[in-house]
Amino acid sequence: MNLEAAGAAGTQQEGGFLKAALSCWALFLGFASMVLGHGLLGSLLGVRLTLEGHPTGTSGLVMSGFFVGIVTAGLGAPRLIRRVGHIRVFAAMGGVASVAALLHSLWVEPLFWFALRALTGFASTTMYIVVESWVNDRAQNAFRGRLLSVYMLIWLICMGSGVYLIDSADPAGMVPFVLVAICYGLSVVPLALATSAAPEYSAPERVSIRRLWRLSPLGSFSAAMVGLIHGTLVGMVAVYAASAGLPNGRVAILTAAIYAGGILLQMPIGRLSDRLDRRLVLAGVSLAAAACALAALLLGRVDFWAEVGAIAVFGGLTLPLYSLTLSVANDRLSQREMVGASATLYLLLGLGAVVGPPVAGFLMQLVGGAGFYVYLAALLLVMGLFALWRRRQTPPPPQTEAALPAAAVAPPPTQLSEPT
């Protein structure tokens, strides 16, 4: 291909990406409002339980209810979407999550909150599945990484902003729960009023774990590994920092650095994954993140700010792994399989997130705070090596043409025979 043709193809792909992103504006706006509420509620519950005098073990049990909801949504969301469609399911789950947020303020009882947390997990995860399957329906292989990076960038910015909304009102009162309910309630408005068509849902196919493994072994394996990694990183970084004797202010700085890195590197990594074999990018990012984890461990013994820099790069490499995993898996799927596959990927992600933090906690008891970084480095090393191995087994997926309309995003069935 000569330079003129390559430039024309690049311009065509860029135009296709912008068209697809603009077609999702209502979806992204509603998603942003939903994630703001999600981020605020996650921080609010832990603070409120502490104020009520409940021990950390009880708080951990309550918060684990969310993962029960993730697993349940992974099993039940495709059936809901098949019956009534993307927009109605998103609106219904926004209403359920809004009511659940308000119910938290009526009775501060751990078992009751566990049930509400599971309900919120089901509703929120179902909304995530709607958004991800919608975005993948609009994406072509040529720009899938960038479009999913927009989705993850919105999540990172709004999740971080939602966490800091905890300072907007007294967590001992009802107002923060009302704010969460407002965020979830407003999330359904843009989609309800939008004129753009939702993805076809009349006959989405169920994609079991076994079938997803046949279609994309790397996507399946990476989803579980990302659950282990992200669950440990987000859930245990504060525990690691506290075990290292850091004051609360520095714990917040360390946590913020992870999200800041993710925000800065999400789009560049997504763009790179559209230009190179995504499996190679997944392997390179995983192995580089493993090296950064070990660097953060060593630098943390020398200087706090050096550790902050290393963990920022680590977060920048690690947080985009989920959108890379989605891209790798969906490159091999037809449109009818995307809803079921998204639900199954969340099921694997949730199972990994349940297992990851307890294993990390056990290792930290055995070897101290170093176990946090060593565990993450080991997981990332395994993930990167598996991606390299899979790349040797099969050719890359075909690129769909950027000139195709947004609805025609799936490769023909004859091109789906080779698993990733």
Mapping DSSP to helix (H, G, I), strand (E, B) and coil, where does residue 102 land? helix
Residues 285 and 211 in one domain: yes
Residues 240 and 135 in one domain: no
Has residue 399 got a pLDDT over 70?
no
Residues 293 and 383 in one domain: yes
| pLDDT for the residue 309 | 93
| pLDDT for the residue 56 | 59
Q: How many domains does the chain have?
A: 2
Q: Which residue, of 191, 217, 235, is where some domain finishes?
A: 191
Interval 362-390 mean pLDDT: 91
Residue 344: both structure tokens together: 């199954």
Residues 84, 194: Cα–Cα separation, whole Å: 17
Instruction: Report the predicted TM-score, pTM, of the whole model to 2 decimal places.
Output: 0.74
Residue 377: both structure tokens together: 């480095």
Residues 109 and 211 in one domain: no
Residue 13 lies in a domain: no
Residues 183 and 219 in one domain: no
Residues 296 and 363 in one domain: yes
Identity at 362, one-letter amino acid code: F
Residues 400, 412: Cα–Cα separation, whole Å: 9
Interval 93-121 mean pLDDT: 91
Residue 267 lies in a domain: yes
Q: Which residue, of 191, 216, 247, is where some domain finishes?
A: 191
Residues 132 and 221 in one domain: no
Residues 187 and 219 in one domain: no
For residue 281, what is the domain's CATH number?
1.20.1250.20
Residues 6+ apart with CB under 8 A from 77: 89, 125, 126, 129, 130, 339, 343, 346
Residues 262, 173: Cα–Cα separation, whole Å: 32
Residues 228, 367: Cα–Cα separation, whole Å: 19
**% of the chain beyond a pLDDT of 90:** 26
**% of the chain beyond a pLDDT of 70:** 85
Range of the domain at 109: 24-191
- pLDDT band per the 50, 70, 90 thresholds, residue 71: confident
Residue 10 lies in a domain: no
Residue 18 lies in a domain: no
Question: 180-221, pLDDT tens digit by residue?
Answer: 999 999 999 988 887 766 666 555 567 788 888 988 899 999
Residues 263 and 370 in one domain: yes
| pLDDT for the residue 131 | 87
Interval 143-171 mean pLDDT: 79
Number of H helices, E strands in the chain: 16, 0
Identity at 194, one-letter amino acid code: A
Residue 268 lies in a domain: yes
More confident residue, 337 or 308: 308
